[in-house]
With several copies, the nearest count.
Chain A
Amino acid sequence: MTVTIKLFAILRERANVSKMRIELPASATVAAAREALAERLPALRDHLPRVAWAVNRAYVPIETELHDGDELAVIPPVSGG
């Protein structure tokens, strides 16, 4: 299945990309996507243990199962306001 990854702020700058697609096995979890991302974008490796995750614009726990077409956003600590 295909999942769209969105990157923001320092992660977007480090990866030099804001949006990408990755292929994952059916029923892969956010944790599996994290591993795939760390492999594809080594520049993010140090950051990934410290981020939150959102699937289709809602925060989810790392063990959440993904579905084909999901938008998975990597959310570094927010600093709005």
Chain B
Amino acid sequence: MNIMSPNDWITLSPEPLDSAAAVAFVTDGRAGGIDVFLGTTRAETSHDGRALIALDYEAYEQMAGEQLRELARRARAQWPIVKLALLHRTGRVALGEPSVMIAVSTPHRADAFAACRWLIDMLKKDVAIWKKEVWADGSGTWVHPVVPSPGTPGEG
């Protein structure tokens, strides 16, 4: 999924994210401030000594794409955004590479910070994307998986 209108660039793709391209996209003569957020992965070792080597991202692509577009619309309704980029990787992401990148340009800097912060918070909370930690021995652990706990009241 890759949508690039003149002012919004929204992507869900296995391609590495390019911060310079995101900055260039949102740079605009009407903007005085640009805020960029990059989500990266902390190096980790499992309790039994295996190193984390990558994350595998899976998305419900159609829904996640619609959700990202809707988040862009809602951000624009709240802040005077000049341009924005909302980019998320799918598939395997090596440690040290960002999995998500959000860039927002606005006339004044406070709005760029607020919109960027809101977008990453909402993305993490709602968008149909899942990550699986991949360990050095090839095993995988879904992050925030449903913890099996029979009898727990459902959330629907």
Contact = CB atoms under 8 A, between A and B. Distances in A.
A9 interface: yes
Interface stretch (B3-11, B43-51, B138-146): B138-146
Contacts of B153: 49
Contacts of B39: 81
B128 A54 contact: yes
A5 interface: no
Contact of A8 (B60, B124, B152): B60
A6 B130 CA distance: 14
Nearest to B151: A49
Contact of B143 (A13, A53, A58, A79): A79
B58 to A, nearest CB: 5
Contacts of B64: 80
Contacts, number: 108
Interface in B103-148: 120, 123-132, 142-148
Contact of B58 (A8, A49, A51, A54): A8
A62 B156 contact: yes
B146 A50 contact: yes
Interface in B33-60: 39, 57-60
Contact of A50 (B57, B100, B131, B155): B155
A46 B58 contact: no
Question: For the side of the interface on A, what is the size category?
Answer: 20 to 34
A78 B148 contact: no
A4 B71 CA distance: 26
Nearest to B121: A81
Contacts of A6: 60
A77 B145 contact: yes
A21 B88 CA distance: 30
Residue with the highest number of chain A CB atoms closer than 10 Å, among B59, B63, B147: B63
Contacts of B18: none
B150 interface: yes
Given A10-B146, A80-B127, A57 B57 contact: no
A76 B130 contact: yes
Contacts of B142: 9-10, 13, 76, 79
